[in-house]
Structure 1
Amino acid sequence: MSELHEAAAAGNFDQVEELLTQNKSNANQKDVNWSNKTPLHWAAAKGHTDIVRILMEHGARPCLRTEHGWTPAHCAAESNQLAVLHLLHSVQAPIDLEDNYGDKPVRIAEIYGQKECVDFLKDAEVEARANRIMAAIRGITLDDTDEEWAQLREGKKRKKRDLEMM
């Protein structure tokens, strides 16, 4: 776990800010020892909205996924971090993507009994879909894809198909 991952998880705003402003850390670094979580995943899970905000101001991508396909929105939904979900939604972060098992953040919130998050996410999903449609119509590209994760997932699917054909 990098120093930035640790500071984000611990809620140490001053340290996160220092590491980011002095370009000592990569806000999008995936921790291979912790399921490819980024500092943003940790901050979202812990409910550190101020750290979520500063990470995104320094280029943290809320579309990046863990090895299981979780976005920071999944992490926030699991831990009942409604304020983080509001913040992610306000910056048009993808809050309705499915993980490796087909579960969206709203489903994760349902599983963990996070009723307020479920209620919010049901409405926010509709808005997120509408925003994607409007962006497509206007020719605006949204940052809603973790290219590295998508390539790995496609490679696994291809490998599985190849094995089934043998």
Structure 2
Amino acid sequence: MAADDRSRSEAAKQRRQDQLQRWLGSETDRTGTELRDRPSTSGGRRARVCFAQGAVFMAACSAGDREEVSELLKQGADINHANVDGLTALHQACIDDNIDMVQFLVENGSEVNRGDNEGWTPLHAAASCGFIPIAKFLIDHGALVGAVNSEGELPLDVATEDAMERLLKAEIKKQGVDMENARREEERVMLRDAMAISAGRGTLTPHSITGATALHVAAAKGYMEVMKLLFQCGLDVDCKDCDGWTPLHAAAHWGQEEACSLLADNMCDMGAVNNVVRGKIPVPHCLP
């Protein structure tokens, strides 16, 4: 493995750990637990039934019970149902190294390129775990080797095994994927969308689960031109996600010093406190 590839892989693993650590104990994490523990008599009928069915479906998939999974699908279960952090049954089957369930789900309509809340596709999951047969199957059934997660990482970037790297590099070469262009795709899309909004041809909608805005994402990744356009659109510099994180929290957490400075120049609240760590303010991470 080349030194720069190894460095990228180690950085990817560390960022994933940071992502998971942020999620644990967060408002969205607790919301998911509350939903799982909620008595069946609470809430509206439709929401209760849908959630219960989705939870049962994912449990059946995890148990490898094809008969029950098939029956639930006949009853209308959503094969692409996702839990609170965006994982589908296909993601979980990849993580569990359950190729039989992976094959069953894909053959019955699971979305092979569906991303979780961090943009990780099932192929990202298989690549990071080193499960080559699953990765091969996913690729043969349309998984994109050029798909990027929320960190702009390809499945190759999160692969930790030499054999997995060889497989993905061979497929990238076969498909003619420009890796650097793929990694920059998210920024290009966000810039295009921000330009459309600035011209009055679109609207800004926070993430349905996390409450994060485009400004949170741009700040976390240092997309400076996107941030500048979003400021022109009048987006609140101190907007908060469901965990109380402002864009400054996001920029500070991911070490984006230039983004921190730009937020400060736009009069963000330097003493903002989130909901996850009491008294946590973003300033010390990247500003004097």
The aligned residue for residue 40 of structure 1 is: 90
Of 140, 163, 188, the residue aligned with 1:116 is: 163
Cα distance in 2, alignment partners of residues 125 and 9 from structure 1: 31
Give me the whole-angstrom Cα distance separating, in 2, the residues matched to 1:6 and 1:36.
Answer: 15
How far residue 51 of structure 1 moved from its aligned partner, in angstroms, is 1.5
Task: State the partner residue of 2:260.
Answer: none
Which residue number corresponds to residue 53 of structure 1?
103
**Contact 1:77/1:117 (8 A) holds in 2:** yes
Structure 2: where are the runs of 5+ without partners? 1-53, 178-205, 220-226, 232-236, 238-262, 267-288
Find the aligned partners of 1:47 and 1:128 in 2 and give their Cα distance: 26
Higher RCO (C-alpha 8 Å, min separation 6): 1
| 1:27 maps to 2:79 | yes
User: Of the two, which has the highest radius of gyration?
Assistant: 2
1:1-166 matches, within 5 Å, as: 2-20=55-73, 22-32=74-84, 35-110=85-160, 114-129=161-176, 152=207, 156-158=213-215, 160=219, 161=227, 162=231, 163=237, 164=263, 166=266
The SS at the match of 1:83 is: helix
- The alpha-carbon deviation at position 158 of structure 1 amounts to 4.1
How far did 1:68 drift? 0.8
Q: Is the 8 A contact 2:126 2:135 kept in 1?
A: yes
Q: Summarize deviations over 1:108-146 as a string: whole Å, max 9, x none.
A: 113xxx22211111112233446xxxxxxxxxxxxxxxx
After superposition, the Cα gap between the structure-2 partners of 1:102 and 1:14, relative to the gap in structure 1 and judged at 3 Å, is same
Aligned partner letter, 1:66: D
Distance 1:15-1:115 versus aligned 2 partners, 3 A rule: farther
The CA distance in 1 between the partners of 2:77 and 2:135, in whole Å, is: 24
Contact 1:73/1:105 (<8 A) preserved: yes
Q: Distance in 2 between matches of 1:9 and 1:122?
A: 30
Q: Deviations over 1:67-117 (max 9, x none)?
A: 11100001111222111111111112223312111221112113xxx2221
Which letter does structure 2 place at the counterpart of 1:125?
A: I
Q: Which AA in structure 2 matches 1:56?
A: V
Q: Quick one: structure 1 residues 8 and 128, their matched pair in 2 at CA, closer, same or farther if it must change by over 3 Å?
A: farther
CA distance in 1, matches of 2:155, 2:89: 18
What TM-score does the superposition give when structure 2 sets the normalisation length? 0.43
**Where do 5+ consecutive residues of structure 1 fail to align?**
131-150
1:24-51 deviations in whole A, cap 9, x for unaligned? 410111111xx11011101111122221
Structure-1-length-normalised TM-score:
0.72
Do the aligned partners of 1:16 and 1:51 also contact (CA within 8 Å) in 2? no
